[in-house]
Copies of this chain bind each other. A is one copy, B any other.
Amino acid sequence: MRTFEEYRQMTEEALLPALSSLGDIPPLLLEAMEYSLKAGGKRIRPVLLTAACEMAGGSAGDAREFACALEMIHTYSLIHDDLPAMDNDDLRRGRPTNHKVYGEDMAILAGDGLLNAAAELMLRSAAETGDLRRVKAAEIILRHAGVTGMIAGQTEDITSEGKTPREETVRRIHEHKTSELLEAAVEAGLALGGAGEKEISAGHEYALHLGLAFQMTDDLLDVTGDTSQLGKHPGKDQEQHKMTWIALRGVEGTAEDARKEVRAACEALEQLPWDTAFFSDFAESLLGRNM
């Protein structure tokens, strides 16, 4: 297995060429999409997808378009989330948000464009190769990103604002908003590598708990971090009365729950027949974020 940094670097190198490979894109649209794609982040989803594909016996090349597609989906969701009508954020990863630079109209189109480009890349790769594992991986990614997955989470986030947090609701929102794209990463990676249903199901369990741990440590950072660490204004979630884990369980309780979720994620890995150290290391690294 490679290191996280090696996988991250592979994603960085593949991302913009993958977008441009789609053909003749109007310059302003391309620039707006690239602006947010280049904004960095840790590329967790494409890294996990590529690592899962290699772990299951596939090659990083098999995973390339799907890793890029997944990062495009993540990026479009951030662009639309930041819009004035949504979370109304001016900063993202320490830079002005897409609509602050390109205007709301172009930010809406850049988001639409990235989602469509993601699906198009996966379909082109499936159509060119006739490889049904790619069809399955694309189906997995679009399902988790969609109206029963990530977009469901964004809706629940909006409709729950201002309400009293209940554990069931907060958990469901976090599962949808955060776990779904991690499940997409691990499950699609395994499918591309040729894994069977049992392994994909274990990968799902891992990513579900990983996502909850990730969101919990993110909520902790929102109250304990500063702008330079966060790349956004801290305390924003609290101001907007979002359904955070902190509001429900406090700082100590959230830290404890995050440790539980990391353990559950690592336990799920035991059902896999491969060396899963990359994935357990990553889950445990979340606890080092600020705890």
User: A interface vs B, CB < 8 Å?
Assistant: 19, 22-26, 28-30, 33, 76, 80, 83, 85-86, 103-106, 108-109, 111-113, 115-117, 119-120, 123-124, 126-127, 130, 132, 135-136, 138-139, 142-143, 145-148, 151-152, 154-156, 158-159
Known A-B contacts A28-B159, A119-B142, A146-B116; the reply to A108 vs B108 at CB < 8 A is yes
A174 CB to closest chain B CB (Å) equals 15
In the A-B complex, the 10 residue pairs with the smallest Cβ-Cβ separation, listed nearest first, are: A85-B104, A23-B148, A123-B139, A116-B146, A119-B119, A120-B142, A29-B155, A127-B139, A113-B147, A26-B155
Option from B28, B112, B138 in Cβ contact (under 8 Å) with A115: B112
Report Cα–Cα, A112/B76, bound state, in Å: 10
Instruction: Tell me the minimal C-beta distance from A212 to chain B in angstroms.
Output: 19
Contacts of A136 in B (CB 8 A): 127
> A30 to chain B: which residues have CB within 8 Å?
147
As for how many copies of this chain the complex holds, the number is 2
Asked whether A147 lies within 8 Å of B116 as measured between CB atoms, the reply is yes
Contact in complex: A105, B126 (CB < 8 Å): no
CB of B113 within 8 A of CB of A85, answer no
Chain B positions within 8 Å of A127 at CB level? 132, 135-136, 138-139
Q: Bound state CA distance, A87 and B109, in angstroms?
A: 13
Q: Are A85 and B105 in contact (CB under 8 A)?
A: yes
Given A108-B86, A130-B132, A143–B155 Cβ distance below 8 Å? no
Docked CA distance A145–B116 (Å): 7
Check if A138 sits within 8 Å of B123, measured CB to CB: yes
Asked if B155 contacts A28 (CB within 8 A), the reply is yes
Given contacts A26-B155, A26-B159, contact A139 B116 (CB under 8 A): no
B148 touches A25 (CB 8 A): yes
State which of B23, B28, B139 has its C-beta within 8 Å of the C-beta of A120: B139
Select from chain B the residue with minimum beta-carbon distance to A87: B105
Q: Do A139 and B155 form a contact, CB below 8 Å, given A80-B108, A113-B146?
A: no
**Complex interface: chain B residues within 8 A of A132 (CB):** 127, 130
A190 to B220: give the CA distance in the assembly, Å.
54
Q: Is the CB of B120 within 8 A of A103?
A: no
- A22–B26 Cα distance when bound, in Å, is 33
